[in-house]
Amino acid sequence: MTTQPFHLAIPVQNLEKCRTFYRDVLNCEEGRSSEHWVDFNFFGHQLVIHQKEDFKPERISNPVDGHDVPVPHFGAVLTWEDWHTLADRLKAANTKFIIEPGIRFQGKVGEQATMFFNDPENNALEFKAFKDISQLFAK
């Protein structure tokens, strides 16, 4: 089965601040844009940030493995090497992590690297990588 890119549109108040974050911090290539929205190549998927001046995200979480995982959240599954490169870049940029970069299920089925942080508008993101990508959907 060929994986097709997903499309995700999210609200932001400060379009330019978020544009800079997704373009310069996450290194997402900018696509089309207008005065009120910007498309990005979000790791092979289409992310659109839409300016919504009265946007106030509700912060809720779900307990997982001793952490409060923000819900909702989105992100991408990267290669092991790309995940570590991104984690290093985010640490160098003094990113405040919701859940620090770390390894879950070490030595077990589904071993994965994961980290959570917010964009400038408090949209929660998770990036993960699997040592063995074939275990992405393993039980």
Q: What is the pLDDT of residues 45-96, one digit of tens each?
A: 999 999 998 877 777 888 888 888 888 999 999 999 999 999 999 999 999 9
pTM of the predicted model as reported, rounded to 2 decimal places: 0.89
**Whether residues 73 and 46 fall in one domain:** no
CATH classification of the domain holding 93: 3.10.180.10
Percent of all residues in the chain with a pLDDT value above 90, rounded to a whole number: 69
Cis peptide before 72 (omega within 30 of 0): yes
Domain span at residue 34 reads: 7-51
**Whether residues 45 and 106 fall in one domain:** no
